[in-house]
Structure 1
Amino acid sequence: MNAAPVFDRVYSGLKQMLRQGRRSPGARLDPAALADELAASITPVRDALYRLTGERMVDGAGEGFQVPLLTEPDLRDLYAWNLQLLLAAPRPGDLPAAQIGTGPSVLIAERAEALFAGIARLSGNCEQLAAVTALNDRLYAVRICEESWFGDCEEELAALVQAESREIRVLLGRYHRRRIAAVPELLRLRYRAHG
């Protein structure tokens, strides 16, 4: 088998595992155990862990790797940075609803991810889109918790999708401030999922 497809499969599998929060924050990521779990040799697993470390989805822990520990200031910074990037789009709004994904099988985390990537895409700046995409990856597991903490995420995202250009900035600010205020509770939910 070609090495590139193996690496791609391992990298995608590890990234999805981290995005979905299937390992607790601070958990050690043992390359040998992950290689067994992913039916791959240890080399592509290590290579994928190094790449994910560069993407800040994995922490290098001395001689090994671990799931990053997310603190309250860290999570507040991630939300604030997400807002700054989205507000930097020259005209956030006018987003085709087809890009957002709807229906009972689409998680709120996926809808938020699609919405924010769509806004960044409208900027026409590939670096802005790459930064928002990376933030989406790092915030995905917490956004799963948002759905259980806030009872109205679906309505909130629908309002953002339907907003006109002049009002979306206000709604984006409200959306992010609300989450920043709930950081302690969201982290408790995130950590409780593995406690």
Structure 2
Amino acid sequence: MNEKTEELRDIFTSVTDGEETITESQVDTRGSLEQDERTVDERLESVVAQMRERYGFDAGLEDEAYLTVAKRFYEGESDEAIAEELGVDAETVFEARMALHLVAEDDADEVDLVAIRDREEDDATLAAEYGVDETRIRRYRRVAAAKDESRAANDRYRDEFDDVLADSALSERLATDVREDGLADATEGMETDVSF
């Protein structure tokens, strides 16, 4: 051992309380997209509970219904389809989505939400200007308010929904693909036209 190596060894043993060797135990873990051990529903319940506490929203639904709204929204279902499943009207589902900051791209694609948000005119005036009914203007204003709320929270809740539901869907799709690929590989070249 040369002088430098001996110096380093002395520093190492003084730092490690005199132990000559340090070994770190290694555990083989299976890969997963989800690092959180909680179920999808438990993770969603946590997000909904945080939002309910912060915003005090109430579209007249139980937390379980909000979970269904979030899941079905990420599955691409319409408000009408979700409403039918929950036994409520589509407007209630829309309000639940807005409360959860789940704004779809087509919720207000015909109008500039920034312009609507900053206008102080009443709904009737804006409806006449945009050539739509007042209900549509109220809907646009609700979408703008939901986006503002989400932005004020740095889109934290929307990101959490993305993490939980998008990762869950990806994990499920990848697991299905792996099973299908594995089955295809296992049966490749096998005779399937066998008579007994």
TM-score bracket relative to the smaller structure? under 0.3
Higher relative contact order (CA 8 A, sep 6+): 1
Q: Which has the greater radius of gyration? A: 2
| TM-score normalised per structure 1 | 0.26
Greater percentage in strand: 1
| TM-score normalised per structure 2 | 0.26
